[in-house]
Structure 1
Amino acid sequence: MGDIIANRGKLFFKVNPSLKFLLTSSLFILYLFVHNLNTMIWASVFFLVLYVFACGLSGKWSFGFVLLTLILSLFSASAMILFGKGNTVIFHYSLIMMTQESLARGIMLGLRTFCFSLIGMVFATTTLPVPFFYSLMQQLKVPVRYAYGCLAAFRMLPVMGEELGHIRQAMRVRGMANQHGVKAFSNKMIRYLLMMLAQSIRRAQRTAIAMEAKRFSMTEARTYYYEIGWSVYDLYFLFILLITVTSGFICSSLFPVTPFTNVLDH
C-alpha cells in the first residue's frame, strides 16, 4: 500500500479517525434528504475539489478512482433517465422514454452517487487502518474483541491475495491452467474455493487462539500501544467540511444551474 498512498503528511491524515468517520457518515444522511438538483451539482463540484487537495493517493490512483466513480454514477443515473416517468417527453423509442423529469431525477441520482463516493473516498484515502481501529476502541468504546478482530481480518486480505497467487502458480505447473471448457472451469473454481476455505479456517483458528492467549476477550480496561487523542487538526477538519457543505447550499441559491429546485415535485 505504500506505493498507493503517496503523501501521509497531509492535514486529513492528522485528524482523529472517529471524528472523521462520524462527520462523513452524517454527510451521507444530510445529502440523502437533499432534492435540489442545484445543491447536488455544487456539492459534487466542491467535494471533488476537496478530494483533489485532501487525497493522499498518488496521481494515477486518484484519477483512476474518480474515473471509476464517474462510470458508476453514469450507470446509476442511466436507468432513471431512460426508463423514468414524466410529462415532457424529450425522446421516445420503443421501451426507452426520456422525459425532462426523468432526466432531472436521473442526474440527481447520479450526482448523489458521485458525491457519496467522493465523501467516502476522502475518508478512506486519508485514514490508516490501525489508527482507525484504535480510535474506535478509545473514543467510541467499541469492544476490543470486535475491533482487533476486524483489524486482524483486514491484515489477512493481502495474505489471502498472495496465497491465491501461489495456488494459481501451482495449478499452472501441474498443467491445469491449460484446460478449457465449462467443466474444466467449474472444477478449477471448486479447487480454488476448497483450498482457500481450508487455509482460511486454519488461519482463523490460529488467530483466534493467539487472541485468546493475549486476553483480547477480557472486559477490563486495557492499555494501548497507540494513544489516539484530539488535536487542533480536528477543528480544521470540522471547519473545512462546514465551509464545503455551506458553500454548496449558498451557491445553489445564488447561482442556480437548473430550474429543478425539487426533483420530486416534477
Structure 2
Amino acid sequence: MARCGCGGGQCDCSLEAGDNVIVSGSGSAANPYVVSADVPCASVRACLSGGDGISFDTATGEIGAHLSGQVGNNVSIGPDGGLLVPTAGGQVLTGCGLTGNGTAGSPVKANTQAWPYPCSVDTFGGVVACDTQGRLRSEPRGMVSFTNYGESRDYNDVPIPAAQNTVLDTFSVNITNPDSCRAAKVFTEREIDVWMVLPAGAAGGTGQGSDEMFYMRNTGSASMVGVHAQGTKFLTESFTLGPGATAPITLSATGGRGTGGAYYYSIVFLLRAMIISL
C-alpha cells in the first residue's frame, strides 16, 4: 500500500477494517498498512461435520477418529495418539490341539499327526465336529450290550408229531439297539429244551426250525421220563438293527418222527443277544 508520494498527508489513502479484520499502520513507507484477519472458532464450526470414521464435537470443536464399538474390533488409540491395529504375532495363545501364534510365518492351525494306517484317511478317517457350545467332539463311542431272555412253558402231554421238524411252539422277543447314533449287528445264542416221555419202543426227535438236533428211541421195556437234550445255536442275525430300532427275534421249537405214544410236556426257551455298534 505504501508507495512514493503517498502518505504523510500528500494524498488521501484510507482503509477501514471490516468484521474480524484488523488494520494497523499509517500507510507510510516507514509504517505501512498491515491488514490481518481473526476468524473465531465458533464461526468455523458451523462449516464442519463428522462423517464415516470421523468424530466431531460441536461443543468443543474437537475432531478425532471414530472407533467402532462392534465386538472383535482391534483398532485403538496408541500411546502416541495415533491409530493402532495390534499385530497377531505373539498375542494368540494356543492350547491343546492348536499350534502357531497367528503370524504369517506361524499361522494358527490344528496340531495334527501323520495317518499311521495303510488304509486311506479319505475313506476311513473319522469325523470331528463342533457342538452347540463351540466345543470339538469326536464320533460317538461304540457300544456293546448284552440281553438275556428266557421262558418255560408246560403242556398237557402233547404227542410228538410224526412229520419231522413240525413246529411245536414259538417264542418271540423284541431286541432293541440302545445306540441312538449307529446301526448295530446282533449276535444271538439260542437254546431250546423239549421234555419228552418215551414209552417202551417209542421214539421222538426235537430241534430248532428246520434243524432236528436230537432224536431218541426207547429200546427198553419201561417208559423213559424227562428225556431231553439242550440244543444250542449261535447265530449272526441276517439284519442290521438301525439306530434305536427294535425288531423281533423268533425261536421255533420243533419235533418229529414221533412213534409209540411219545409225547412232550414242557419246553424251555432261552435267548441271549449281544448287540454291537462300532
TM-score range, shorter chain: under 0.3
TM-score by length of 1: 0.19
TM-score by length of 2: 0.18
Q: Over alpha carbons, which structure has the higher Rg?
A: 2
Structure having the higher strand fraction is 2
Structure having the higher helix fraction is 1
Greater relative contact order (Cα < 8 A, sep 6+): 1
